[in-house]
Structures are given as structure tokens and as C-alpha cells.
């Protein structure tokens, strides 16, 4: 069949003319063109031949059974239709089979998804529950800490919690009874706290800290010199670490404590060990911390004394007495913790801290190991790496392969069904 672009009549128009689909005027024009154009006339002949060929696709006659069934149904319907309209299609015709495959596939996918999510949640909950139980088993601080339980490391800037403010009602009742018996207002802890005014220290308390990084030629000699310096200045090493790794320079990291009065001379001695790479000094004023701590200790002691006074003049029940003893023990523990903190603070002032870093100058060494030894080491390392990779793959598969398969099934099965459905539909 030839397309004739240069002709005034389009091939589609010729086809429409052949099919009798043109208006009278258009048909007249096309007919006039066909009279003078053999190519277009042959196109019509080709259309005619094609239609003639298709007539050879014959179909058998419709069976008599179909005719009988349809006419019988028509007769029955005609007889019953006078009684009323036929029933409306189910669900207004929506459920006519068109959405059945999609509905079934969608429901199956949703069900699988829900199962997957449920399994995932169960697995996650199973991992979380032990932690939850641990949390539940913790003592309830709100109910147990009726007394003064502030930690010893509470920052000094925060307001100290008064033991009287958290005293139990039993203690308060006993205190009232004691006050009534004695008629002495000064016996109450609050009164004693009001009488004690804070004391301030005139001399500032400075905690000195210095940092030195020194590169030395011989670390062993430097280490010996370091010990000598410490002995000379009556200091000590609070912490000291020596690192010696192959192909890397050796180093010493130390935290030195030197009496504050000899800090400058000690730093000067340390600088003689080698080339100073870095040096810094700082001082922290801890006077306020020390003062606050002293006041808190004093207050706590007064509270302790008050409790002891209450205990000696007790008139309450045994349970109240026990509660007072517990309070005394708690206050005593707090006093000891604060005293330790005070001692540590004073020690920081008395002894300056020097963070020292000694690095040895690195010298490349000719490897002495033979090739066979290096080959052996490389082989062992390679075997270890390979086995670790294999083990990692196996562990990964064991841990995740089931989940991956489930998710693949969730995604692939609906996709496969839809693909097969569309493929089958296209073949029909």
C-alpha cells in the first residue's frame, strides 16, 4: 500500500471515501481525483482487496441452544417484568469484576505488610523489654528521698538544700516537742543557722595548671631526668604513660604534681629536657568554692548536732527515733563527702598540676626482619582478614536474610502478580 504525500487528496481521505465516510462534496472531489490518478485508484483497489480477503475469515453459525436459551429468558423476563423493575446491580455495578484482581492483590499486599510490620514490632519490643524492666526496678526517688540527699558533687553555685526544709514530719514534731520542753529557741537548727554568719577568707586560693610539650632526643635519658626533677621539687607523678609503637616515635604523657611554690623553677627544669613545642599556664580561683563548701559543712554539722539533741531528749515513738537516727547518718555521710571535696580542693591549691608531653625525635630504622618473616606476617594478616570477611557475611546473612526475604516477598509477589496479569491480558 503506497502513501501519496504529494497528492492533493490524503490517503486517509481515500480510505474514508472507500468506507463511505465522506460528505457528498468531499466524496465528489475524491472521486474526481481518482479518475485522473492511477496511483490513488490502485490504493482503493488495495483497500477493496484487503476487505475481500478478510471475508474469508468465516465463523460458524450460532448454535440453536443459544437461541433457545435467550428466547426462553426473554419470555420469562417479559412475563415477570410487568410486576416491577429488575433488581439493581450489586453495589451499583461497581463490583463487576473489573476491580477484582486489584482488590485481591491489594488485600494480599496489605495483609503481608501488616504481618511484616507486626513481626518487626515484636522483634523490636523483644529487644526493648529488658531495658524497660530495668527501669521499672529502679527505686522511686520521689518516694524514697524524703530527706536531704543532694549529691556531694553538687555545684557550689547552686543553692545548698537545707536539711530542715526536707525534714520529715516526725522529726519536725519531735523538734517542736523538744523546743517546747526546753523553751530555748536557739536549740532549733534554723536558729543556729541564722546565728552562723558566713566567713570569708582574705587570701585567694589559686589552683595552678601548666601544660608542656617537649621534644627530646633520647627519651630514656629524659625520663631519668624527669624523675630527678620530681625528687628535687618534692613532687610526684599522678599519672604517667609511656607509648612505644613500631614505626612511630616513642612518647611519655604524664600528669605531674608539684608544690605550688616551686612551680616556676620546676617548669624551668623541665624545659631543659629538650625543645619546647608548646607551653601554657593557667590559674583557677577556687576561693569561692572553698568558702561555700566550708559554710555547707558548718551548716550540716549544726544540723547534725540538732538531730543529736532531739535524739537525747526524745519523747516520741520508736519509729520516730529510728527515723532521726537515719537522718543523722545521712547528714554525717554528706559532711564526710564535703570534707573530702574540701581536702581535694586544698590539695589542688597546694600542688600545681603540670600536664607534660615528651616526644622523642623519630629516627627511621632499617627493618631487620627477614622477608620470610614479613611474608609470614602478611599471610597471617591476610588469612585473618579473609576469615573476618567471611564471618561478617555469614553473620549478616543470619541476621538479616530472613527479613530481606520477607520484604522481597512483600514487594515482589504483588509486582509479579500484576506483571503476569497484565501480560495475560495483553495476550487475550
Distances (CA, A) of 100 to 46, 106, 369, 426: 45, 10, 77, 17
- For residue 352, which of 276, 283, 279, 424 has the smallest C-alpha distance? 283
**Distance of closest approach, residue 126 Cβ to another protein, in angstroms:** 36
User: Where in 134-173 is the site for another protein (CB under 8 A)?
Assistant: none
Asked if 80 touches another protein (CB under 8 A), the answer is: no
The single residue among 63, 139, 151, 183 that binds another protein, judged by CB under 8 A, is 63
The single residue among 5, 6, 25, 58 that binds another protein, judged by CB under 8 A, is 58
Asked if 423 touches another protein (CB under 8 A), the answer is: yes
Distances (CA, A) of 272 to 254, 269, 275, 293, 377: 17, 5, 8, 40, 42
Minimum CB distance to another protein smaller for 376 or for 422: 422
The single residue among 50, 114, 393, 402 that binds another protein, judged by CB under 8 A, is 50
Asked if 70 touches another protein (CB under 8 A), the answer is: yes
Q: Which three cell numbers stand for residue 141?
A: 526517688
Taking the C-alpha atoms of residue 369 and residue 367, their distance in angstroms, rounded to an integer, is 6
**Binding mask 101-140 vs another protein (x if CB under 8 A, - otherwise)?**
x--x------------------------------------
Give the total of residues touching another protein (CB under 8 A).
54
**In this chain, which stretch among 12-20, 211-219, 248-256, 337-345 interacts with another protein, using CB under 8 A?**
12-20
Asked if 69 touches another protein (CB under 8 A), the answer is: yes
Asked if 414 touches another protein (CB under 8 A), the answer is: no
Taking residue 164's Cβ as centre, other Cβ atoms within 10 Å add up to 18
Whether the Cβ atoms of residue 338 and residue 300 lie closer than 8 Å to each other: yes
DSSP string, 381-407: HHHHHHHHHHHHHHHHHHHHHHHHHHH
**Distance of closest approach, residue 68 Cβ to another protein, in angstroms:** 10
**In this chain, which stretch among 28-36, 97-105, 189-197, 383-391 interacts with another protein, using CB under 8 A?**
97-105
Residues in the chain: 428
Taking residue 289's Cβ as centre, other Cβ atoms within 10 Å add up to 19
The single residue among 28, 38, 77, 196 that binds another protein, judged by CB under 8 A, is 77
Find all residues with CB under 8 Å of 278, minimum gap 6, and list them: 211, 212, 213, 357
Asked if 95 touches another protein (CB under 8 A), the answer is: no
Taking the C-alpha atoms of residue 56 and residue 39, their distance in angstroms, rounded to an integer, is 26
Q: Angle at the Cα of 5 (from 4 to 8), degrees rounded to 5?
A: 90
- For residue 286, which of 219, 341, 231, 358 has the smallest C-alpha distance? 341
Asked if 56 touches another protein (CB under 8 A), the answer is: yes
The residue behind cell 529557741 is: 185
Whether the Cβ atoms of residue 344 and residue 286 lie closer than 8 Å to each other: no
The single residue among 5, 24, 25, 61 that binds another protein, judged by CB under 8 A, is 61
Asked if 378 touches another protein (CB under 8 A), the answer is: no
Contacts with another protein by CB under 8 A lie at 1, 3, 11-12, 15-16, 19, 21, 46-47, 50-51, 53-63, 65-67, 69-71, 73-75, 77-78, 81-82, 85-86, 96-98, 100-101, 104, 417, 420-428
Amino acid at each position: 500500500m503506497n502513501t501519496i504525500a504529494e497528492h492533493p487528496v490524503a490517503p486517509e481521505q481515500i480510505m474514508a471515501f472507500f468506507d463511505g465516510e465522506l460528505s457528498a462534496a468531499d466524496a465528489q472531489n475524491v472521486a474526481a481525483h481518482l479518475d485522473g490518478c492511477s496511483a490513488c485508484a490502485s490504493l482503493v483497489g488495495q483497500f477493496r482487496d484487503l476487505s475481500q480477503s478478510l471475508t474469508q475469515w468465516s465463523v460458524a453459525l450460532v448454535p440453536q441452544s443459544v437461541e433457545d436459551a435467550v428466547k426462553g429468558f426473554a419470555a420469562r423476563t417479559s412475563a415477570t417484568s410487568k410486576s416491577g423493575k429488575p433488581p439493581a446491580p450489586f453495589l451499583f455495578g461497581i463490583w463487576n469484576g473489573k476491580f477484582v484482581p486489584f482488590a485481591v492483590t491489594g488485600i494480599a499486599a496489605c495483609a503481608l505488610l501488616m504481618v511484616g510490620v507486626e513481626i518487626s514490632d515484636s522483634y523490636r519490643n523483644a529487644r526493648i523489654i529488658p531495658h524497660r524492666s530495668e527501669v521499672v526496678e529502679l527505686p522511686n526517688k520521689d518516694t524514697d528521698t524524703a530527706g536531704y540527699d543532694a549529691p556531694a558533687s553538687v555545684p557550689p553555685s547552686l543553692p545548698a538544700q537545707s536539711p530542715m526544709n526536707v525534714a520529715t514530719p516526725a522529726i519536725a514534731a519531735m523538734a517542736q516537742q523538744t523546743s517546747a520542753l526546753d523553751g530555748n529557741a536557739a536549740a532549733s537548727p534554723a536558729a543556729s543557722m541564722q546565728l552562723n554568719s558566713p566567713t570569708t577568707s582574705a587570701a585567694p586560693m589559686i589552683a595552678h595548671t601548666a601544660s608542656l610539650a617537649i621534644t627530646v632526643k633520647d627519651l630514656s635519658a629524659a625520663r631519668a631526668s624527669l624523675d630527678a626533677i620530681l625528687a628535687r621539687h618534692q613532687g610526684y607523678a599522678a599519672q604517667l604513660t609511656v607509648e612505644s609503637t613500631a614505626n612511630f616515635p616513642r612518647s611519655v604523657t604524664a600528669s605531674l604534681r608539684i608544690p605550688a611554690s616551686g612551680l616556676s623553677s620546676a617548669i624551668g627544669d623541665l624545659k631543659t629536657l629538650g625543645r619546647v613545642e608548646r607551653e601554657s599556664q593557667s590559674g583557677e580561683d577556687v576561693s569561692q568554692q572553698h568558702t561555700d563548701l566550708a559554710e555547707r559543712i558548718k551548716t550540716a554539722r549544726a544540723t547534725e548536732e540538732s538531730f543529736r539533741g532531739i535524739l537525747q531528749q526524745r519523747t516520741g515513738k520508736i519509729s520516730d527515733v529510728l527515723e532521726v537516727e537515719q537522718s543523722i547518718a545521712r547528714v554525717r555521710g554528706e559532711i564526710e563527702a564535703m570534707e573530702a571535696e574540701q581536702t581535694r580542693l586544698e590539695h589542688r591549691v597546694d600542688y600545681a598540676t603540670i600536664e607534660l608531653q615528651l616526644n622523642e625525635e623519630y629516627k627511621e630504622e632499617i627493618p631487620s626482619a627477614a622477608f620470610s618473616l614479613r611474608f609470614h606476617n602478611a599471610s597471617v594478616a591476610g588469612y585473618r582478614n579473609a576469615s573476618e570477611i567471611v564471618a561478617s557475611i555469614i553473620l549478616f546473612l543470619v541476621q538479616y536474610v530472613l527479613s530481606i526475604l520477607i520484604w522481597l516477598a512483600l514487594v515482589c509477589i504483588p509486582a509479579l502478580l500484576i506483571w503476569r496479569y497484565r501480560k495475560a491480558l495483553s495476550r487475550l
